[in-house]
Amino acid sequence: MTNLLLVELSRLQFALTAMYHFLFVPLTLGLSILLAMMETVYVMTGRTIWRDMTKFWGLLFGINFVLGVATGITMEFEFGMNWAYYSHYVGDVFGAPLAIEGLMAFFLEATFVGIFFFGWGKMSPRAHLAVTWLMALGTNLSALWILIANGWMQHPVGAVFNPDTMRMEVSDFVAVLLNPTAQAKFVHTVSAGYVCGAAFVLGVSAFYILRGRHIDLAKRSFVIASAFGVAAALSVIVLGDESGYTITDNQKMKLAAIEAMWQTEPAPASFTAFGLPNMQEHATNYAVRIPWVIGLIGTRSIDEQIPGILDLVQTSQAHIQNGLTAYSALQKLKSNHADLAARAAFEDARDDLGYALLLKQYVDDPLQATPQQIKDAAWSTVPSVPSLFFTFRFMVLFGFVLLAVFLISLWYTMREAEAPRWLFQMALLALPLPWLAAELGWFVAEFGRQPWIIDGVLPTFLATSELSVFDLAITIVGFTLVYAILAVIEVTLMLQAIKKGPDVFIASAGGFGVLAKIASRPGATAPAE
C-alpha cells in the first residue's frame, strides 16, 4: 500500500517550492516586456530618460530575476527527486517540452540577460535593444514550453500507454504542442505576468510621486504601466484559463467543483456568486446565484450543458469499470507479451487504465475491489469543492480590482488636470494583488486537478519516489529555511534599491545617447559605463 504521509509531504514540498518559484516568475515575465518597451522608446526618440528608466527598472528586474532562476533549478530536478514513478511514467511526453524549453527559450533568456546588464556601452543602441527584446522573447517562450508541459498534465493529448514499456509514450507530438488547454494556460499565465509587471511599475512609481521624488521617471513609468496594465488585465480576464475546462471529464469536474455545481442545470447554467459548499450533503447552502453567467463563460454558448458533480461521479464510475478491463488485460500482457487477445482487449480500454489505478488507494490488486471501493474511487475524483470555490472567487475578485485600478490610472493620466493623491495611494495598495491572484490561480489549477497528477492517467498518490519520510522532512525544512532567508534578503535589497532610486543612472552621463557622443569626443572624459 502507498505511504500516504510520504505522498502528502511530497505534495507539500512541490506546492511550497513551485508557489515560491512563482513569486518571481510573473514579475520577470511582465517587467521583461516593459523594459523592452521602454528601451524601444529610447532608441526611437533618443531621449535618455527612457534609457535611464530601462536601467533603473532593469536593476529591480535583476534582483527578482535571479531568484526566479535559482528556484527554477529546484523545479527542473524535483520531478526526478520526489516523483520518480511519475518521471518514468510520463517522461517520454512530459520531458520533451522541458528539454526544448532549455534549448530554445531558457538559453536565449539567460544568455541575453547577462549582456543586458553588462552590454550597455559595448554595442550600438539598436543592438542593445535587440538584446533586450531577445531576453523578453526568451522569457515568454520559456513560459510557453513550461505551460505546454503543465497543460499536458491537465489534458494529456497525443499519448498512449505502451504495455511493453509500462509507460505513456507520445503518439502525436503536434497534438501535445497545440493542446488547447496548454494554449489557454499560456495566454492566461503570461497575461497574469504582464499584470504583475504593470502593477509593480505602477505601485513603485506611485510611491515616488507620493514622496515627490524622481517625478520625471515616475510619471512616465506610471503612464506606460497603466496603459500596459489595462491591456494585460483585460487579456487575463477575457482569455481566462476556464476556457479549457470543458474539454475532458476531469476538467469538467474541476469546473463543477469551482462552481460548487452538484446537479446538472439546464443550459446556460447560473453562476454562484456566493455560498457555502457542503461536501457531505452535496449541496451549496446560502447560495446567491446569477442566472446564465457560468454557462456563457464555461461553454461560450447558450445551449451547451455543463454537467454537475453528481453526474460526473457516475461517469467516473463507468470509466473505472472500463479501466478494470484494461488493467486485467495488462496483467496478462505483463506475463506474456505475445498474448494477442489480451493486447487487443487492452487497446480497446487503455484510455481508462488510470481509473483502475485509483483503486490502489483501497486495495493492492484493483481486480479484487469491492463495489463499495469502486464507488469510493469514483467519489475520489471530486476535488475539495469549498477550497476551489473560494480561491477561485478571490482570484477573480483581485483580477477585476486590478483592472479597475489600471483603468482609473489610465483615465487620470490621459487628462490634463493634476491627478488626485488617492490615485497613487490606491496604486500602491494594489501592489500585492497580482501575486495573490497568481498564487490562487495556480492553487485552483493544480489542486483542482486532484486526485490526478496526470488527468485521468495517473493518480497523484502513485506518482512519488520511494523515499523515507525522514528524507522529505529534511528537505522540506531545508527548503523552507533557505527560501525564507532568501525571501528576506530579496525584499530587503528590493526596498533598498527602490529607496535609493534611479539617480545613480540619471547622474551617469554615459551610454550611447547624445550625451555619450559628446563625452566620447577627443578630450572629453570616457563614458562611465
Residues numbered 491-510 forming contacts with other proteins, rule: CB under 8 A: 493, 496-497, 504-505, 508
Q: Which of 15, 16, 41, 70 binds other proteins (CB under 8 A)?
A: 70
Nearest approach in angstroms of CB 520 to other proteins is 13
Nearest approach in angstroms of CB 73 to other proteins is 5
Whole-angstrom distance, CA of residue 341 vs CA of residue 332: 10
Tell me whether residue 123 or residue 231 sits nearer to other proteins (CB atom): 123
Tell me whether residue 327 or residue 389 sits nearer to other proteins (CB atom): 327
Whole-angstrom distance, CA of residue 484 vs CA of residue 478: 10
Nearest approach in angstroms of CB 320 to other proteins is 19
Half-sphere exposure for 92 (CA within 13 Å, toward CB): 16
400 binds other proteins (CB under 8 A): no
Binding footprint of other proteins, residue count (CB under 8 A): 80
361 binds other proteins (CB under 8 A): no
Q: Which of 32, 43, 49, 72 binds other proteins (CB under 8 A)?
A: 72
Nearest approach in angstroms of CB 359 to other proteins is 14
Tell me whether residue 66 or residue 407 sits nearer to other proteins (CB atom): 66
Smallest CA-to-CA distance from 383 within 257, 242, 243, 469 is with: 257
Q: Which of 15, 137, 296, 486 binds other proteins (CB under 8 A)?
A: 486
Q: Report the site for other proteins in 131-190 (rule: CB under 8 A).
A: 134, 162, 164-167, 169-171, 173
* 237-276 footprint of other proteins as x/- string (CB under 8 A): ----------------------------------------
Q: Report the site for other proteins in 509-528 (rule: CB under 8 A).
A: 526, 528
Whole-angstrom distance, CA of residue 273 vs CA of residue 369: 40
Nearest approach in angstroms of CB 265 to other proteins is 41
Tell me whether residue 351 or residue 529 sits nearer to other proteins (CB atom): 529
Provide the grid cell at 505: 543612472
Nearest approach in angstroms of CB 220 to other proteins is 21
Residue 274's H or E segment, with its range, is strand 271-278
How far from 273 is each of 294, 392, 435, CA to CA, in Å? 10, 11, 23
Whole-angstrom distance, CA of residue 252 vs CA of residue 258: 10
Whole-angstrom distance, CA of residue 223 vs CA of residue 87: 46
Nearest approach in angstroms of CB 48 to other proteins is 16
Nearest approach in angstroms of CB 197 to other proteins is 19
Nearest approach in angstroms of CB 310 to other proteins is 33
3-state secondary structure labels for all residues of 434-484 = HHHHHHHHHHHHHHCCCCEEECCCEEHHHCCCCCCHHHHHHHHHHHHHHHH
For residue 287, the SS3 value is strand
Q: Which of 111, 246, 373, 520 binds other proteins (CB under 8 A)?
A: 111
223 binds other proteins (CB under 8 A): no
Q: Which of 19, 80, 429, 487 binds other proteins (CB under 8 A)?
A: 80
With 0-12 / 13-18 / 19 or more C-beta atoms within 10 angstroms meaning exposed / middle / buried, residue 477 is exposed
How far from 438 is each of 62, 110, 206, 442, 518, CA to CA, in Å? 21, 24, 22, 6, 47
For residue 286, the SS3 value is strand
How far from 139 is each of 25, 146, 152, 234, 361, CA to CA, in Å? 9, 11, 20, 21, 40
Q: Which of 23, 34, 60, 108 binds other proteins (CB under 8 A)?
A: 108
Q: Report the site for other proteins in 200-219 (rule: CB under 8 A).
A: none
Give me the long-range contacts of 506-509 (CB less than 8 A, separation at least 24): 506/49, 506/52, 506/217
Tell me whether residue 102 or residue 180 sits nearer to other proteins (CB atom): 102
Whole-angstrom distance, CA of residue 303 vs CA of residue 83: 42
For residue 162, the SS3 value is strand
* Strand pairing report for 452-454 and 283-290: unpaired
Whole-angstrom distance, CA of residue 474 vs CA of residue 215: 49
Nearest approach in angstroms of CB 59 to other proteins is 7
Whole-angstrom distance, CA of residue 487 vs CA of residue 481: 10
Q: Which of 5, 44, 103, 344 binds other proteins (CB under 8 A)?
A: 103
Tell me whether residue 18 or residue 69 sits nearer to other proteins (CB atom): 69
489 binds other proteins (CB under 8 A): yes
With 0-12 / 13-18 / 19 or more C-beta atoms within 10 angstroms meaning exposed / middle / buried, residue 246 is middle
Q: Which of 48, 71, 391, 460 binds other proteins (CB under 8 A)?
A: 71
Which among 116-124, 253-261, 307-315, 402-410 is the span making contact with other proteins, rule CB under 8 A?
116-124
Q: Report the site for other proteins in 309-348 (rule: CB under 8 A).
A: 334
Q: Which of 122, 211, 499, 517 binds other proteins (CB under 8 A)?
A: 122
Nearest approach in angstroms of CB 130 to other proteins is 11
Tell me whether residue 91 or residue 386 sits nearer to other proteins (CB atom): 91
Confirm if 204 and 217 have CB atoms less than 8 A apart.
Answer: no
Q: Which of 15, 16, 18, 69 binds other proteins (CB under 8 A)?
A: 69
Nearest approach in angstroms of CB 345 to other proteins is 19
